[in-house]
């Protein structure tokens, strides 16, 4: 396997915990930030000598770090690994004042991912968010004044009490703001989240399908075609970092709860902050067999509108995809498309990707591995 060309940096701190979030996080009021930055950069020494094309600061809420903490992380990573072609940070809109926007620009960030979720202020309050739609607009304006144009916004659909008009309003806002990238994720009720514990119900599959069709059609007309199940971009503005995951390539990671995939080994870092600060970073490691690597490759690549190269598949796994999956391909029929040396899920069927993967892949033989 090729060496990792992407580095994920997890910043777990949040001022408030959103009721739908299952990512590794803890409250900023715990006060671990200074010690955490030191431990984070110490863990990064394991990747000394590697050069990364992309570095992504995710969370949590990386934008809630103090300016000196954020500066220490970025300057140290660039000193060790060189300046990446794509340097991304996740931000909450309410954190982006003129000072932060200028700092991000000066540090070399050339891609910002804003957690907007919706532009309906009542729903934002229900979600426990600290910003309004107006603040999201102001954040974008400040980032642009600082010279950062590659701005993506995350949205969630299928929210409690949400109607079709709210989804349409979110889409109209994306178009009006002239965003080059947007992500729309369906609500997932994960165990141990506040929404799950409160018994919040997901909308029906019919509602999800209606909203998803609306999202795809509206953004395509606006010049942001879908390139992955939940992601839409103007040509040239796709997330290079996330493409690394979806294409099944190796990636490095540092931080509380973060996962990496290097040399066929998946490593998950501890969610025990005391252990992480003590330098006991890795909670679990698993070396994947070639068949497990193939399973993950197909799971991820088929999320992409363009699918995967048959030549690349053969080079990685030493077998021909058409021959290896002949029976499953026959069952799926025209839901899989072949052409120009590639295979992909038929675009009209991407919304039922999960059921297609169940028919294509043998989850039981791979240990019940389903995401």
294 within some domain: no
User: Token pair of 267, please?
Assistant: 């490593």
193 within some domain: yes
Q: Taking Cα atoms as reference points, which of 185, 190, 141 lies closest to residue 167?
A: 185
Give residue 23's pLDDT. Answer: 87
Q: Mean per-residue pLDDT for 165-179?
A: 97
Residues 312 and 240 in one domain: no
- What is the distance of C-alpha 189 from the center of its chain? 17
Confidence of residue 204 (pLDDT cuts 50, 70, 90): confident
- 247 burial (CB, 10 Å; 0-12 / 13-18 / 19+) is middle
Q: Mean per-residue pLDDT for 365-369?
A: 49
Residues 199 and 106 in one domain: yes
93 within some domain: yes
- 8 burial (CB, 10 Å; 0-12 / 13-18 / 19+) is buried
Residues 113 and 216 in one domain: yes
Q: Mean per-residue pLDDT for 118-139?
A: 95
Residues 78 and 185 in one domain: yes
Residues 237 and 342 in one domain: no
Compare 160 and 251 and report the one with higher pLDDT. 251
Instruction: Give every CB contact of residue 129 below 8 A, 6+ residues apart in sequence.
Output: 18, 92, 117
Compare 331 and 202 and report the one with higher pLDDT. 331
266 within some domain: no
366 within some domain: yes
- The average confidence (pLDDT) of the chain is 94
Give residue 340's pLDDT. Answer: 96
286 within some domain: no
Q: Percent of the chain scored above 70 by pLDDT?
A: 98
Domain final residue, candidates 192, 211, 244: 244
Q: Mean per-residue pLDDT for 209-232?
A: 97
Residues 100 and 224 in one domain: yes
Domain final residue, candidates 213, 244, 275: 244
Instruction: Report the CATH number at residue 127.
Output: 3.20.20.70
Confidence of residue 193 (pLDDT cuts 50, 70, 90): confident
User: Token pair of 219, please?
Assistant: 């953004």
Residues 213 and 316 in one domain: no
Q: Taking Cα atoms as reference points, which of 225, 231, 252 lies closest to residue 153?
A: 231
Residue 103 has pLDDT above 80, yes or no: yes
Residues 230 and 148 in one domain: yes
Residue 367 has pLDDT above 70, yes or no: no
Give residue 2's pLDDT. Answer: 85
Residues 15 and 150 in one domain: yes
**Which helix (H) or strand (E) element contains residue 57?**
strand 54-59
Domain final residue, candidates 218, 244, 270: 244
274 within some domain: no
The tens digit of pLDDT for each residue in 274-330 reads: 999 999 999 999 999 999 999 999 999 999 999 999 999 999 999 999 999 999 999
The tens digit of pLDDT for each residue in 244-265 reads: 999 999 999 999 999 999 999 9
Confidence of residue 365 (pLDDT cuts 50, 70, 90): low
As a whole number of angstroms, the distance between CA 96 and CA 131 comes to 11
User: Token pair of 287, please?
Assistant: 């070396």
As a whole number of angstroms, the distance between CA 17 and CA 13 comes to 9
Length reported for the chain = 371
Give residue 190's pLDDT. Answer: 83
Residues 152 and 47 in one domain: yes
Residue 51 has pLDDT above 90, yes or no: yes
Residues 196 and 333 in one domain: no
End-to-end CA gap in the chain: 23
Residues 63 and 184 in one domain: yes
Residue 363 has pLDDT above 80, yes or no: no
The number of distinct structural domains making up the chain is: 2
Domain that holds residue 350: 307-371
297 within some domain: no
Residue 45 has pLDDT above 50, yes or no: yes
Confidence of residue 224 (pLDDT cuts 50, 70, 90): very high
Q: Mean per-residue pLDDT for 33-45?
A: 98
- Residue 30 has a CB neighbour count (10 Å cut-off) of 11
As a whole number of angstroms, the distance between CA 96 and CA 108 comes to 16
Q: Taking Cα atoms as reference points, which of 104, 351, 58 lies closest to residue 213?
A: 351
């Amino acid at each position: 396997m090729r060496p990792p060309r992407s580095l994920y940096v997890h910043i777990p701190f949040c001022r408030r915990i959103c009721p739908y979030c299952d990512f590794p996080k803890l409250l900023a009021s715990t006060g671990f930030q200074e010690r955490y930055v030191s431990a984070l950069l110490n863990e990064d020494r394991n990747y000394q000598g590697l050069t990364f094309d992309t570095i992504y600061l995710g969370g949590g809420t990386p934008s809630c770090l103090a300016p000196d903490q954020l500066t220490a992380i970025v300057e140290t990573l660039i000193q060790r690994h060189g300046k990446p072609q794509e340097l991304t940070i996740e931000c909450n809109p309410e954190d982006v004042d003129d000072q932060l926007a200028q700092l991000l620009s000066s540090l070399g960030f050339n891609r910002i991912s804003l957690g907007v979720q919706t532009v309906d202020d009542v729903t934002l309050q229900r979600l426990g968010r600290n910003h309004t739609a107006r603040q999201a607009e102001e954040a974008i304006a400040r980032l642009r004044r600082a010279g950062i144009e590659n701005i993506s916004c995350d949205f969630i659909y299928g929210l409690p009490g949400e109607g079709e008009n709210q989804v349409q309003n979110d889409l109209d806002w994306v178009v009006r703001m002239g965003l080059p990238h947007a992500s729309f994720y369906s609500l997932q009720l994960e165990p141990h989240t506040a929404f799950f514990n409160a018994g919040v119900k997901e909308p029906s599959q019919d509602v999800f399908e209606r909203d998803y069709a609306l999202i795809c059609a509206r953004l395509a007309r606006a010049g942001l075609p879908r390139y992955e199940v939940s992601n839409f971009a103007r040509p040239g503005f796709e997330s290079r970092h996330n493409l690394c995951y979806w294409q099944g390539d190796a990636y490095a990671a540092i931080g509380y709860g973060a996962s990496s995939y290097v040399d066929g080994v998946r490593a998950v870092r501890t969610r025990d902050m005391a252990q992480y600060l003590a330098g006991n970073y890795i909670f679990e490691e698993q070396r994947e067999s070639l068949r497990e690597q193939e399973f993950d490759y197909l799971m991820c690549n088929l999320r992409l509108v363009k699918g995967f190269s048959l030549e690349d598949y053969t080079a990685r796994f030493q077998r021909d995809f058409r021959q290896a999956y002949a029976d499953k391909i026959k069952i799926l029929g025209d839901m899989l498309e072949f052409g120009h040396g590639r295979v992909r899920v038929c675009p009209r069927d991407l919304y039922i990707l999960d059921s297609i993967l169940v028919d294509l892949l043998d989850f039981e033989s791979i240990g019940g591995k389903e995401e």
